[in-house]
Amino acid sequence: MATRSRLRSTRLLVVVLVTASLAIITIDYRQGQGGPLEGLGRGAQTAMAPLQRAAETVTRPVGNFLSGLAHLPSLEGDNQTLREQLADAQTQLTTDQELQQRVATLEDLLGLRGTLDPEAVPAVVIGNGVSNFDWTITIDKGSSDGIAVGQPVVTGSSTSPRLVGIVVSVTPVSSDIELLIDQHFQVAGRLSTSGETGLVQGQGEQDLSMGLISPDAQVDLNSDQPVEVFTVSYEINGEHGRFPPDILIGEVASVVKNSNTLETSVTVRPAVDFSALQYVLVLHTGRSEGGPG
């Protein structure tokens, strides 16, 4: 008798919890941004940020060591490739310096502004997404440092930035960044060789896909120069894109063959190694909230 009543109370408990979960899913779907759950979520993130920061400081060396072990088999090959690339780069450098000077003079003449806003907030990565279906990172700067939802995030330096992602939520002390490999991420891209534009979309752990390229575009992967993809700026009805131009997104890895003659699509390997990302720059662009890339 006692067992049966305990069984019944367990069942009741589960029904209550399942109902609560379903209610949360429904409320979250209907409320969109700025509802009560959003506030609760932000509270939880604010509370977790200092703990994450502490844990990150302690565990970073351990994580680095272990992920280094995981990458060990590929290190030898990487080393060889890098040596070859270095030799190539050094020859390239001499020619480039000359070009650089010419470009600098021309830019001065035209009075071009730097492509990036000089206001960039450096931040430390203190956490990663908590699930296999969530490609985000958490950084240690938030709204009190002037970070707002919709600001682009890069790594590297302000002169040669590589795209990381975009700010999707902020608390006073931390922010969440949606990485460009996230399945909801979209950005307009431009091929370095032909200047053709297209739409770059995240694919999770796989390479990014870039579609909507003109079918006439020639993408030659056999030449010495890698085909790189950069962000482009555009303006539609007075609305600017979210990303400043000329941020490196990645390198074209393959051309997707299909019978569709209306567009060409390629896969793009991101320029950033997200598993080793430690420092990022958040760019203060004039416009923050807004639609896709």
Partner 1 sequence: MVRRVLSLTAVVVTALLLQSTVFGQLRLLGVRPELLYLVTIVIALLEGPNEGAVVGFAGGLMQDFLMNQPKGITALTLTLLGYAVGMLRQFITSPSPLLPTVVVGVGTAAGIAFYEIVSLLLGNLDMTAAYGVKVAVLTAVYNAVLTPILYPLLRRISEGSRPRRVVRF
CA distances from 128 to 15, 150, 153, 173 (A): 32, 19, 15, 16
Check residue 32 for interaction with partner 1 (CB under 8 A): no
Number of CB atoms found within 10 A of residue 118's CB: 9
- Supply 292's token pair: 């896709």
- Strands of 114-160 (E only): list them: 120-128, 136-139, 152-156
The helix/strand/coil state of 237 is coil
Q: DSSP letter string over 20-51?
A: HHHHHHHHHHHH-TTSHHHHHHHHHHHHHHHH
Near partner 1 by CB under 8 A: residue from 116, 120, 123, 138? 138
Stretch that binds partner 1, among 36-44, 78-86, 139-147, 210-218 (CB under 8 A): 36-44
> Residue 238 CB, nearest distance to partner 1 (Å)?
29
In the window 163-202, what residues touch partner 1 (CB under 8 A)?
A: 168-169, 176, 178, 182-183
Q: How many residues bind partner 1 (CB under 8 A)?
A: 54
Q: Say how many CA atoms lie within 13 Å of 281 toward its Cβ.
A: 19
Near partner 1 by CB under 8 A: residue from 8, 20, 87, 260? 20
Which residues on neighbouring strands pair with residue 256, listed in sequence order? Answer: 265
Near partner 1 by CB under 8 A: residue from 122, 150, 156, 204? 204
In the window 210-269, what residues touch partner 1 (CB under 8 A)?
A: none
Stretch that binds partner 1, among 12-20, 93-101, 156-164, 259-267 (CB under 8 A): 12-20
DSSP letter, residue 124: E
Check residue 207 for interaction with partner 1 (CB under 8 A): no
Q: Interface residues with partner 1 (CB under 8 A)?
A: 9-10, 13-14, 17-18, 20-26, 28-29, 37, 40-41, 44-45, 48, 51-52, 55-56, 59, 62-64, 66-67, 70, 126-134, 136, 138, 168-169, 176, 178, 182-183, 204-206, 275-276
